Structure formats: C-alpha cells, structure tokens
Structure 1
Amino acid sequence: MERPPSAAAWHAGVMEPQQLCLRVAEELRFFLPPRHRYADVHVPYDGTSSLGHVVESAGVPLPEVGGLRVAGRPVAPSHRPASGDTVEVLPVPRPQPLPFSPPRFLLDVHLGTLARRLRLVGLDTTYHNDRDDDVLVEEANAERRILLTRDRGLLRRRPLWAGAHVRGTRPDEQFHDVLGRFAPPLAPWTRCTACNGPLEHVGKGEVERRLEEGTRATYDAFARCLDCDRLYWPGAHHDRLTAIVAAAQRTVAEAGARSVDRM
C-alpha cells in the first residue's frame, strides 16, 4: 500500500501545490471577492488552464481586462503560465480603442433609462426588456454591437464578441461611465429615444393634423421618427434634455483630451 508523502517532503517542495499571484489593478478590484480587494491574490493553478480562465475564475471578466503581463512581458489570455508566476491584470484604457466608429450598443434588460439617454445623443442603441442572456449574446455577435450590462456572469459568456460592465447604479453615473469609456462621436437629437430609429425634420404643416391644440399653437419645430412615426418637438422637458446633452458633450471632450495626452 502506497504511503502518503511526509510533511518533510511537502516542505522540501516535492508535493508543493501550484499557485499563481494575481496583481489586479485597483480599478478592477471591485470585481474580486471582498477578502481579495486590498492585496495580491494567490490562486491555485492546475498547470493547464489558460491565464484568461484563471483571471475570470478569480472574478474579473475578460472584457474588462486591457492587458496581462507576466514578468513585465505582455501575454495573451490563452497563455499558460508557470506555477509561481506573478500576473499583472490591467484595466482597459479610457477611452477604449474600438474596432469601428461610431460604436453600436446593445443593453441588457436593466438599463432602459441609459438606452434612452444614449439614443438622445445619437448613439445607435438597441434595447429590449424581454431578452434572455443567450439571445442577447447572439444579437450582440450577429450585429457587432457592444453588450453593455451590470451582469458580470453575462460578460463571462465565452462566445460574446464584445462587452462592457457599466459602472454606477444611477442613470447619470452609468451615462457618464459609458461615454467616458468609449468617447464616441455624438449626434444629439438624431435618434428616436423610444425605438432607436433615425429622425427627420418635418414642416409643421405636414404634422399639424396630429397635434393637440396647445402644441400646435406653441411650437413650430418638429421631427419625426422614420421607423415608428413618433413626433418630437422642444416641449416642457427640453431644458432638462439640453442639459443632459451638454454634459455628455463635456464628458466625451474630456475623454478625448486624456487620449491625446497619452499619445
């Protein structure tokens, strides 16, 4: 009968368990369990898993990782490290380089207000309140849209083409986060906030029969959605929406300036 290794053998390194040290950037530590957020993370390693798998198992979704380094050398998520390696886990740069511009977005079911605000500033944004995770991933991949979500598990879906975790719980925070991360070119007042369709300006005479008496007497500038035929005019909420647009333009300009400073 085979005898178990002695304690001396363990201390001599004969049966030393394999480990990796993850040095996670401060911006990404909120993804980690609370006990791991204030120091390097030592995780067991089976010797065969990819580094990307190890990082995601620790809690950090790969779409949030801007780079991995071992011994100061950049490595791919497919890299298989050696036991004892220290791995630097870096955040995505802000603004994040995009494969095409302007970006197209798909939002999960919990981000309806954010969807309307992104459309307000002219960003192509698809949103449904009745899609399950599998359908969202399929749609994002088929239409080459960046999936925005606060669901970390959704970001770890292996087939997902591109995704991003939305920081913040309030719509203002989420809006600022997405614009600061991607610094997309804005085209305010060009999309329907209800359906994402393009807007066209129309003369008052073309839509007058559809207007209530007070609206017809007060406003002269109108736009119509080419997809759902919804009408828009600068009504009672216009000042608030104008302030949202102005704040969005400032956020994108500041993000663009940071990008220039890094060059």
Structure 2
Amino acid sequence: MSGTLRNPTIRSGRSFDLGKMNLRQLWVAYLTYPTILLYFALIAVSFAFAGHLFAGWRLTIVTVLAVIMIYPLVWYLLHRYVLHGHLLYKSRFTAALWKRIHFDHHQDPHLLDVLFGGPATTLPTIGAVTIPVGWLIGGPGTAATAFCAGVIITCIYEFFHCIQHLNYKPRARWIQRMKAYHVLHHFHDEDGNFGITSYVVDRALGTYYGEARTRQRSPTVFNLGYTSEQAERYPWVMRLTGHAPKDRPDGARPESGERAPPPQGARHVA
C-alpha cells in the first residue's frame, strides 16, 4: 500500500497521517487497505451464502433492519464500557489488546493504522452480535444476511471515522456536525459523544454534548485515564509503547494542553 500514495508528508511512522491527507488520498488509502479488502471479501462470501440459503424477502429485510437498529447501541456500549474502561490495561494478559484497540487511537488520533480495528477483534465481535440475531429471525440464511449487513455497516463506520480525523471540511452540514462531535470526544472530553455516525444513544443516555463550553476539558482525554501514576502501577501498556502515556498530542505546545486544537475543518462545533 505504501506505493499507492506518492506524497511522503502524509506518512507518520508506520501509518498514513489523516491530519495531512486530503479526501482523494483517503479514498485511495481506504480502498486499498488490507483490513477493508478483507471486509469486502467477507461481504461477498456472506452475501453469496445469504443468497444460496435465501430465507425470503420479508425475513431478509427484517434482519437487515434489526442489525441497523442494534448496531449503534452495541457500538456505544462497547466504546463506553470496554474501550474506555480501565479493566483491560490492569492485566498483563489483556493490556496489549486494550492498547491496540483504543489507547493508541486516542494517543495519536490521526494515525490510520490504529484507527481501524484489527480483524482479529472486530470480526468475532461482529459475528457474536449479528449471527445470533439473524439465526433467531430466520435460520442460517438470515444469519448470513445479518453478518453481511454487520460487515457493511462496519465499513461505513470506518470510512466516516476516517473523515472525522481527516484534514478536510465536509460539504454536507450533517457530516460537519458528526465530525465536530467526534472531535470533541477526542480533544475535549472523552466521556461523551461515543457514537460514530449517530449520537442518538448518547442523547438517550445523557453522554451527548454539542459544544466544548458546556463541559470542562478532561485531563485524560488523550490517555483515557492511563496516567503516569496508573502506568507505574500497571506497566504493561507503557512497556509495549516504550514511553510514558502522553497527555497531549505530539507537537502541542505545553501551554496549549488545556485546549488542544481540533483537526482542520472541524474547529467550529455546530
């Protein structure tokens, strides 16, 4: 993939830096990224299975709608209570998992490699959420349909997640708002706005906020509570990282720690 984009300035370490990429470069990176290509292949395979075991249009449509409805809730619960939880980093056996699936993303929000979830964790989760729902609705045919729908939604989530960290101001106002809310999650207070494409569950459960001025800035917005003190007590993530947890993005001035700048194109919160 490194040969698909010629501009070396968009690379940061082992990953493309979304803060330096434009929309065209994102499309190239996204459509050639190995994880996304794997998802596309699984969509094709599960779609073929769903067609071979077709359960009828009514059950198929019900299955797709069920997956669409439960996905935001499942994502919210996982994001809030697992990815932002402290349990995983407190064990040497799960510290690497927590570091990979979310800590690295909050430490460097623009790095593409850690923005995408790893297939080893995302695919079992998608299967565990969607396949039982589909099976209960109509058996193996709708189970395949549910899994297919889950992977498609994941691809959509991942693309919009990239947009939210991209050096790009969307033209559509609804995407601007979506991006602004996610920027607040990463640069102001991580204990809110857990959604990606929808903030309905955040609104229902009281974690939505639309403007920075409505909340104090969180001192743990970049380290998710894995502070230097916690790192001394539970050192496994720090050992894997090779340095103490950061409390501000790379390149931020010390005095700017109270209000780190959001990515270009997402400075104004509607």
Fold match by TM threshold 0.5: no
Higher strand share: 1
Bigger CA radius of gyration: 1
Higher helix share: 2
TM-score between both structures, scaled by the size of structure 1: 0.28
Q: Which has the higher contact order (CA 8 A, sep 6+)?
A: 2
